[in-house]
Amino acid sequence: MSAEASTDPGTDSPIEDLAQDLTDDEPDDLVDETDDLIDDEADEASGAPTVHVPSFAELGVEAQICSALDRVGITHPFPIQSMTLPVALTGHDIIGQAKTGTGKTLGFGIPVLQRASGPGEPGWDALEAPGKPQALVVVPTRELAVQVAGDLDTASSLRSVRVLTVYGGRAYEPQIEALRKGIEVVVGTPGRLLDLAQQGHLVLGHARMVVLDEADEMLDLGFLPDVERILNLTPAGRQTMLFSATMPSPVVALARRFMTQPTHIRAADPDDTGATVRATKQYAYRAHALDKVEMVARILQSRGRGLTMIFARTKRTVANIAEQLQERGFAAAAIHGDLGQGAREQALRAFRNGKVDVLVATDVAARGIDVDDVTHVINYACPEDEKTYLHRIGRTGRAGNTGVAVTFVDWDDLHKWMMINKTLDLGIPEVTETYSSSPHLFSELDIPEGTRGMLPRGQRTREGLEAEQVEDLGETGRSRKGGDAGRRGAGRDSGRDYGRSDGRGAGRGGRDSGRDSGRDRSGRGPAREASDGVAVEPAEHDLPRQRRERTRRRTVGGVAVAGGTEGSDGGATTAVAFAGPEAGTEGAAAESGEASARRRRRRGGRGRGSRSGAPATTGEAPAAE
């Protein structure tokens, strides 16, 4: 066949046809056709079919929610969402387990919004109690509550479903007022949810959907008993969805008790079999405590660095790191438990808005901070366990992005790192001793040569924390009487007793501060002497405040009164007599008088003796016996 074809003068050979085609094609067209041919052959050789990623609409999500997500650039679901949505939208109970940063929030948020009915929407008139919460989302931390509520607000922006965030640190009144007007979805922390429910403001008897997010963190924080009490307030036929990165046995027991035949969904990338997200590069360095801040300052100047989070163990360490970084020219903010809720939210807003690019935090912020472009996470000290490590580094490498996680390991924490490395199979058994000038630190983290610990002035372009205003939250738990003293921790009772008019408070400056408050400014008693040595009536402003005295004698302002009758108010109505210095001069050497004076001095000196030891007089000095 081929010989005949090649000898036939009326036909061209295949080689000649190919040559003619190559000469006729343009160079660019030839390259494109060659690339397509190579791709097709590669697909055929591998035998792997093209994977179709469904859209939200194909998974049964209503058009309004799809349009709201499309506005912010969310068009296709993540694996946990693709596996969760078809089951959750039908009302079945779900246990969703996936790594941190893989999109669990919309996995339960979309079903909650789609099954809820807002004012004027279909199904609103058929509700038993319109305006009462139809869905409840319980989260362990305030920051996570804000983040979840923000995602739900975004997804429901084209609907009339109302979402309320409930957590401690804010005033009760706005939350109570919002519940009174009507709310469909409530997102909150266990403590404040229980408070409002016990006060009767939060009615959970009509909640058809309950979500427990980050259930393992609630276990670590001791919230599971509160969660059980909240679940007991909801109807029995509810849909319960539990989402978490890890599933300890107490959480599994909770699921078995309060869930009905749940579907356990465990979403993971087939090519990503590790415990951590593959897109996050992890480094561990054995660092010296006095060199850590210098190392951090140089890491913060690495090429391509975006927003950065630094985690430390204690609140004091967090504040110290942030202060030192600010002195070195970095736009840094701190967030820890000693800050009020307004200051914490100010720091988070400034971090999200890019006004600061370094956020130093304790583990209170390890969950719930879902910020775009977090490229680096630095563990200032080795985490306590593998769960803490996972949730810390989970702040970067989220939603398919890449990230870098750096951990400083002290000499005393080498055993902790060995356990974390073994449990998570990180492949970093040996921790290299590293200093701020070590060459491998510059090469591994892509730090420019010659970088120092001070940020050059030309690179200080961030506005800083001061550019973000502090929102007035009407914070609870703070004294309003003591002014700055109550806020700055000047004693637990400094604000409580501030401004008392009875002389008992005065900041509680000592055990005798209230007892001796009736003395005059000179510290001697209420009676004052004239220049001629004769006792005179004290001025009105020098008279001490009348108060109860621990004495058997009836006194007014520390001076014994002459026997008389009591007025209608129970107080003495007789005149006060003041004895002159010559009173009692005769017989002053009497043993009884000297002993009495010595006893008075031992009990409190001249001021106290003048109050409790003076004998009752009738206007004349007592005569010597």
Per-residue pLDDT reduced to its tens digit, 396-409: 877 667 899 999 99
Q: Which phi and psi (to 5°) does residue 420 adopt?
A: -65, -45
User: SS in 3 state form for 63-74?
Assistant: HHHHHHHHHCCC
* pLDDT mean over 445-452: 93
Rounded to 5, what percent of the chain is helix, strand, coil?
A: 35, 10, 50
How does pLDDT run across 183-202, given as a tens digit for each residue?
A: 999 999 999 999 999 999 99
Nearest CA among 233, 244, 219, 250 for reference residue 136: 233
Whether 295 and 438 map to the same domain: the answer is yes
**Within-domain flag for 288:** yes
pLDDT band at 559 (very low <50, low <70, confident <90, very high): low
pLDDT digits (tens, 9 = 90+) for 274-297: 556 677 899 999 999 999 999 999
Q: Are 222 and 368 contained in the same domain?
A: no
Q: Are residues 92 and 37 in the same domain?
A: no
Residues 6+ apart with CB under 8 A from 24: none
* Residues 460, 532 within the same domain: no
The total of structural domains in the chain comes to: 4
Q: Do 324 and 180 share a structural domain?
A: no
Do 435 and 341 belong to one domain? yes
Q: What is the pLDDT of residue 611?
A: 47
* Position 553 in a domain: yes
Query: Are residues 412 and 310 part of one domain?
Result: yes
Q: Are residues 427 and 458 in the same domain?
A: yes
Residue 53 in domain: no
> Cα(510)–Cα(214) distance, rounded to whole angstroms?
48
* Mean pLDDT of the region 305-333: 94
Q: Nearest-5° angle of CA 498, CA 501, CA 507?
A: 30
Q: Is the pLDDT of residue 552 over 70?
A: no
- Is the pLDDT confidence value at 514 over 60? no
Q: Assess if residue 31 is contained within a domain.
A: yes
Which residue, 467, 492, 519, sits at the end of a domain?
467
Residue 219, domain member (yes or no): yes
Query: Domain residues for 36?
Result: 2-46
In a domain, 512, yes or no: no
Compare 398 and 553 and report the one with higher pLDDT: 398
* Burial class of residue 592 in the structure, from the number of CB atoms within 10 Å of its CB (0-12 exposed, 13-18 middle, 19+ buried): exposed
Do 309 and 176 fall into the same domain?
A: no
Mean pLDDT of 379-384: 93
Give the count of alpha carbons within 13 A of 550, CB side only. Answer: 6
Same domain, 35 and 74: no
Residues 6+ apart with CB under 8 A from 394: 99, 100, 101, 245, 277, 366
Distance of alpha carbon 98 from alpha carbon 35, whole angstroms: 37
DSSP codes, 302-345: STT--EEEEE-SSHHHHHHHHHHHHHTT--EEEE-TTS-HHHHH
pLDDT band at 495 (very low <50, low <70, confident <90, very high): very low
Residue 99 counted as domain residue? yes
CATH number at residue 89: 3.40.50.300
For the stretch 243-255, pLDDT in tens is: 887 788 888 888 8
- Has residue 445 been placed in a domain? yes
CA separation for the pair 376, 380 (Å, rounded): 12
Residues 355 and 387 in one domain: yes
Instruction: Clarify whether residues 255 and 365 are in a common domain.
Output: no
Per-residue pLDDT, 500: 40
